[in-house]
Structure 1
Amino acid sequence: MVKSTSLSGKIFDGFNILFLLFMAAITLYPFWHVLVGSVLPYEESIKSGFHLFPRKLSFEAYEYVFSKDTLVRSLIVSVFVTAAGALYQLFITAITAYPLIKQDLPGRTAIFLFIIFTMFFGGGLIPYYLLIKTLGLVNSLAVMIVPAALSVYNMVVLKTFFQNIPKELEESATIDGAGYMTVFARIVLPLSVPALATIGLFVAVGQWNNWYVPMLFLNDKGLWPLAMVLRDILINNNMELTRGGSFVSQEFMLADTIKSAIVVVSVVPIIAVYPFIQKHFVKGVMIGSIKS
């Protein structure tokens, strides 16, 4: 960062710093508010007012959350669906995008236009539901994974990245006797880690926060992911999912404290994953911004 030496430049830099600090504060405060609310003891929870820092810490809400089979099961379901869905969609997206960069692929333009067509036109909710029912995916975790096999937008992004890989690398491998799959697995994919990491993060966040598909197709609450359980608690104020048929003792916590704890538990896993792919993510989001 270049520092200004003039008075007007210093004032401008100071204004920018204050503005960015303000934006960071209003962005982080909602999460901080929920985090503080999840560790408030009962005597502070019943008091109205502004709680920037709790005077005492109480982790009984988290102990309660992880003691309930419903919430623990939904967390396990969310982890499985997110991991399986992200890997599955990355695989399908990659093997779809790679052939489309080959000029000698028969009908390449027609295939690409057919795929793009699906971005703008769909059959509607009722035909989609009938299709899922016909395939036998209702009340199955596969309904959250199999239909989401391909995102056309992600495919186009990955196709653009593949096109920027030097063709000389593939040609030299082909001369040495490597086939398409060998070139794809040993050259293209390792060089595409930034793009794959970026797309994988977007897919994982979408899968983790997906409550709409379970709402439509999962009648068995035992198959609900954490996002669906959280939605049912927050929107419908249904605390029976956390009580397991018994009432919560208000001597040590309130329903709002449990809700805050569930929100924190649902957010932390995604936040924890980001640092491991940050170095790839920064490069991956620049895909297509610079042409070689």
Structure 2
Amino acid sequence: MVKSTSLSGKLFDATNYFLLIVMALITLYPFWYVLVGSVIPYEEAIQSTLHLFPKRISFEAYDFVFSKNTIIKSLLVSLFVTVAGTLYQLFITAITAYPLIKQDLPGRSAIFLFIIFTMFFGGGLIPYYLLIKSLGMVNSLAVMILPAAISTYNMIVLKTFFQNIPLELEESAKIDGAGYMKIFFRIIIPLSVPALATIALFIAVGQWNNWYTPMLFLNDKALWPLAMVLRDILINNNMELTRGGSFVSEEFMLGDTIKNAVVIVSVVPIIVVYPFIQKHFVKGVMIGSIKS
């Protein structure tokens, strides 16, 4: 940012900094509140509902959370579903977007319009449930991976990115005897890492936070992902997962401290992944600005 030297410019910059700091504090406060609420002792939690800074830090809630096999299993289920679903959807999205950039593809426009049609019209919840049931995916982790094969929005974004790759690269590869599959995996995919990383993060966040699908199709609680367990604790106030603990604090602790700890456990994996993908966001923006 170029700093202004005039008085009005300095005032403008100071106002911008002030507003950005205020927005940052407003954004971070809910997370900080939950984080502090997960590490305060039970005695401090019942004294006040506002905790900006803990007087004493206690990891009793996290010990309790990680001592429960149900939560550990749900965390592993979420990791499996997120990784498998992300790779699966990313592959299907890429191999769908790539042919649609070919001008010589027969029925290219009709195929694209048919895919766009699915963004605005669907069969409804009941037909969808009957379809999943007829395919035998009720009470199966496959229901969280296979049906969500592709997002039309992600496909359009990736298709647009593929179109910005110079055609001369493909033509040179064809002269050397490369086929479409070799061009796709050896040229298109390596050049599309920024776009693929961005879409992968979108898919991963959606998979990690998906509680609606297991709510509809997973009756077996052993198959529930962490998002569904968290929803059951926070919304339905289900205390079954937290009974049987050997802690001095009673069940009143569950209303705040343990719930906050479960929220933090569910949020941290995505926060940890984001810094590794952030550089691809910046690179993708720069590539788009240069080509346009």
Q: Give the TM-score normalised by the residue count of structure 2.
A: 0.96
Structure 1 residues 65 and 73: alpha-carbon distance in aligned structure 2, compared to 1, 3 A threshold: same
Where does 1:1-292 land on structure 2 (aligned, <5 Å)? 1-243=1-243, 249-250=248-249, 254-255=253-254, 256-284=256-284, 292=292
- The 8 Å contact of residues 70 and 242 in structure 1, kept in 2 or not, is answered as no
- The 8 Å contact of residues 64 and 245 in structure 2, kept in 1 or not, is answered as no
The alpha carbon displacement at 1:250 in A equals 1.6
- The 8 Å contact of residues 232 and 238 in structure 1, kept in 2 or not, is answered as yes
Which secondary structure state, in structure 2, belongs to the residue aligned with residue 254 of structure 1? helix
The alpha carbon displacement at 1:129 in A equals 0.3
- The 8 Å contact of residues 82 and 207 in structure 1, kept in 2 or not, is answered as yes
Structure 1 residues 83 and 287: alpha-carbon distance in aligned structure 2, compared to 1, 3 A threshold: farther
Query: Structure 2: which 5+ runs fail to align?
Result: none
The alpha carbon displacement at 1:80 in A equals 0.5
Output one character per residue of 1:157-213: Cα deviation in whole Å (capped at 9) or x when no partner.
100000100000010011001010000000000000000000000000000000000
In 1, Cα distance between equivalents of 2:285 and 2:263: 28
After superposing on structure 2, the runs of 4+ consecutive aligned residues of structure 1 that deviate more than 3 Å are: 245-249, 283-292
- The 8 Å contact of residues 197 and 284 in structure 1, kept in 2 or not, is answered as no
Output one character per residue of 1:40-97: Cα deviation in whole Å (capped at 9) or x when no partner.
0111111114211101110011011011000000000000000100100000000000
In 2, Cα distance between equivalents of 1:64 and 1:248: 8
% same residue:
80
Structure 1 residues 135 and 286: alpha-carbon distance in aligned structure 2, compared to 1, 3 A threshold: farther
Query: Structure 1: which 5+ runs fail to align?
Result: none
In 2, Cα distance between equivalents of 1:145 and 1:284: 27
Structure 1 residues 212 and 289: alpha-carbon distance in aligned structure 2, compared to 1, 3 A threshold: farther
The alpha carbon displacement at 1:287 in A equals 7.9
- The 8 Å contact of residues 81 and 144 in structure 1, kept in 2 or not, is answered as yes
Aligned length: 291
> Which stretch of the first structure deviates more once superposed, 40-49 or 159-168?
40-49
- The 8 Å contact of residues 70 and 222 in structure 2, kept in 1 or not, is answered as yes
Amino acid at match of 2:65: V
- The 8 Å contact of residues 39 and 57 in structure 2, kept in 1 or not, is answered as yes
> Which stretch of the first structure deviates more once superposed, 149-158 or 44-53?
44-53
In 2, Cα distance between equivalents of 1:24 and 1:133: 45
In 2, Cα distance between equivalents of 1:126 and 1:14: 55
Which secondary structure state, in structure 2, belongs to the residue aligned with residue 114 of structure 1? helix
In 2, Cα distance between equivalents of 1:220 and 1:252: 25
Amino acid at match of 2:122: G
In 2, Cα distance between equivalents of 1:285 and 1:110: 30
In 2, Cα distance between equivalents of 1:286 and 1:172: 25
The alpha carbon displacement at 1:2 in A equals 1.0
Amino acid at match of 2:29: Y
Amino acid at match of 1:81: V
Amino acid at match of 1:234: L
Instruction: Give the CA RMSD over aligned residues.
Output: 1.7
The alpha carbon displacement at 1:242 in A equals 2.6
In 1, Cα distance between equivalents of 2:290 and 2:231: 40
In 1, Cα distance between equivalents of 2:269 and 2:165: 33
Amino acid at match of 2:9: G
